Chain A
Amino acid sequence: QQPVQSPQAVILREGEDAVINCSSSKALYSVHWYRQKHGEAPVFLMILLKGGEQKGHDKISASFNEKKQQSSLYLTASQLSYSGTYFCGTVDNYGGSQGNLIFGKGTKLSVKP
């Protein structure tokens, strides 16, 4: 089953924060986050493995709540370069470390000056 992302779209001013959520009906092994700018390929951001770890780089971080089968992506002090569509991809427990990703439909983030 395809994970559900929310919100579908969000508009921010530079410097504002945003949270993007990804929810699955299946028990998950891992959650992957990607960003895609208009007309370009998706670019890998990070992977979170089951165990509830939180990861981040720069001002983008993420958490994974294994029990709730949810992940959240946190963008703090947003910059114009953060604009794009964010996708979560999930691997269920059956797939394990090399399981195939099932992607959500994406969240379109627009950062305005």
Chain B
Amino acid sequence: DQQVKQNSPSLSVQEGRISILNCDYTNSMFDYFLWYKKYPAEGPTFLISISSIKDKNEDGRFTVFLNKSAKHLSLHIVPSQPGDSAVYFCAASYYNDYKLSFGAGTTVTVRA
């Protein structure tokens, strides 16, 4: 049973607009969350992370929000650019366990 769920397999957004990707988790032991980005024919690359002691982390155009009570996190990309078209994976781990559990991924397409 998947402990990290991304229920939207795809998202299409116009260039310059906001992209919002959602992720839910079931394991209450998770305390560290990450987003990875993957282009075709490449491996996933780390994008941004957040610890459970925070509810927001920002890095340039990318912001991750964490709602622990709802076991929900989201990734906001503002503004969206054509180079953001990729598959985005949500991942989670817990203290002293460095294995990552991944969601199924969301394919983002940014339209010109």
Decide whether A and B are members of one complex. no
- Which residues of B line the A interface, CB within 8 A? none
- Which residues of A line the B interface, CB within 8 A? none
